[in-house]
Structure 1
Amino acid sequence: MKRSALPASLLALAFALAGCAPGAQPGSSPDSPAGGSGMHTGHGSAPSSAPTAGDHSAADTMFAQMMIPHHQQAVEMSDAVLAKDGMDPRIIGLATGIKAAQGPEIEKMTGWLKAWGEPVAPGTAHHSMEGMMSGEDMAKLREAEGDAAAALFLTQMIAHHQGAVKMAEKEASEGSNPEAVDLARKIVEDQKAEIKTMEDMLPDYR
């Protein structure tokens, strides 16, 4: 009986040392899934932690496609004011801040569309965007000077921001891409605050 028991104990010891219990893999822990290593588990969980190129909806695409030219016009309006001589420092500060905020957002949304495999140009949607200035509006802003230019800039930018807020609110409620929804909420918060600031400033230039 001793001779038959010895091989069995050695076999058990070998399994214990090698960690070769049925279904186990070297380097696995009791908490690891059977047949899997920690490295395999981490790799499999990665896609859920970061959006993929296809992780977007039609609402996300429309938001980015429309907000890019909307932001671009806000930058253009700001440049028109910053090019003028003798403007009130408060207006200069406001225009500079708008450019600093919206320029990087343009780059971010452009990057999303490219990653999603969507066209950057909004096509006919451009004509339905709220708050956009016409060519005539932009010409008036470029030609105005002094307090008249400040008042016109504030009036136009308030309307422009109000249009952006509506677009962003729609994305915040209907979008599916987490980054796009977060940006939409940020735009709503930031531009509502700027609208209030501009409304408070406007009487000083009339």
Structure 2
Amino acid sequence: MTDSSPSPAEAAEAPRRGVGRWTVVLAAAVALVVVAAIAFSVGRLSTLGEPTPSTTSAEAGFARDMQVHHQQGVELAMIIRDATDDDATRLLAYDIATTQAQQSGQMYAWLAEWGLPQFGAEPAMTWMTQPADDGEAHGGHGSGAGDGTSAHEPGDPMPGLATPEQIEELKSLEGVEAERMFLELMIAHHAGAVEMADAVLARSDYPVVVSLAEAIVASQQSEIALMEDMLAERS
């Protein structure tokens, strides 16, 4: 009878492999804590000395709603990261997840520093129905929101959000099919974030809000162009 028990060397190696996997998990968890702490500190320090926005302001509404929007971006990125072996897609997913997690931490910190609740009493997207500052606070960046108008009603879904059904479908896919659906969802998701950023730029001159909104517009429009090229390669 053949002895199928592991050799002494294999037996010694197995615990090391387990330790290695847990080391990776622990390192990732520590990294997320560090990113959140840094984002909180940056967000807190960057708001000192500025007048405090009200809880119903465009600044507060943007901070709350964009956190929710970014959280779904992180979720979609982590789904595709586990569903594909394609290096370019995994790198894109990592960049999206880390960037949007950091920005969410920054916006969380704004609300904490302003002494405002993380969840407002008014329905989501109410701030986007407010009049713009003469329609020309900072202009638009191609989404149509910069002209001071908005088709949104309070409580309407945030622009570009994937539905629960779409998320479940993405989870069921692998390989190129998963990549294709992820790119389609994330292009729409980024376009929605640009629309929201343009809307707050038309309604706010608050320096840190303007700085982050402009960064979101620039980075996500660049990633939209990249993802459109990636999607064309997979059509």
With the length of structure 1 as denominator, give the TM-score of the two structures.
0.71
Alpha-carbon shift at residue 55 of structure 1 (Å): 4.7
Letter in 2 for 1:119: P
Residues 200 and 54 of structure 1: CA distance in aligned 2, closer, same or farther (over 3 Å):
same
> In the TM superposition, what are the counterparts of 1:121-136 in structure 2 within 5 Å?
121=119, 124-125=123-124, 127-136=156-165
- Bigger CA radius of gyration: 1
Give 2:226's match in structure 1, choosing from 177, 180, 197: 197
Residues 143 and 53 of structure 1: CA distance in aligned 2, closer, same or farther (over 3 Å):
farther
Alpha-carbon shift at residue 53 of structure 1 (Å): 6.1
Question: Identity over the aligned pairs, expressed in percent?
Answer: 35
Q: SS where residue 199 of structure 2 aligns?
A: helix
Alpha-carbon shift at residue 115 of structure 1 (Å): 1.4
CA distance in 2 between partners of 1:113 and 1:81 (Å): 31
Asked if the contact 1:81/1:95 (under 8 Å) is kept, the reply is: yes
> In the TM superposition, what are the counterparts of 1:131-170 in structure 2 within 5 Å?
131-170=160-199
Asked if the contact 2:184/2:231 (under 8 Å) is kept, the reply is: yes
Asked if the contact 1:51/1:177 (under 8 Å) is kept, the reply is: no
With the length of structure 2 as denominator, give the TM-score of the two structures.
0.63
CA distance in 2 between partners of 1:185 and 1:197 (Å): 19
CA distance in 2 between partners of 1:157 and 1:191 (Å): 10
Q: Could you give the per-residue CA deviations for residues 34-68 of structure 1, whole angstroms, max 9, x where no partner exists?
A: xxxxxxxxxxxxxxx94346156711011111100
Letter in 2 for 1:82: R
More helix by share: 1
CA distance in 1 between partners of 2:51 and 2:111 (Å): 9
Aligned residue in 1 for 2:88: 90
Letter in 2 for 1:81: I
More moved, 153-162 vs 96-105:
96-105
CA distance in 2 between partners of 1:160 and 1:58 (Å): 24
Alpha-carbon shift at residue 146 of structure 1 (Å): 1.0
1:182 aligns with 2:180: no
- How many matched pairs? 157
Runs of 5+ unmatched residues, structure 2: 1-46, 126-155
CA distance in 1 between partners of 2:123 and 2:163 (Å): 15
Aligned residue in 2 for 1:64: 63
Aligned-residue CA RMSD (Å): 1.9
The runs of 4+ residues in structure 1 deviating greater than 3 Å are: 49-53
Alpha-carbon shift at residue 166 of structure 1 (Å): 0.4
More moved, 142-151 vs 112-121:
112-121
Alpha-carbon shift at residue 176 of structure 1 (Å): 3.0
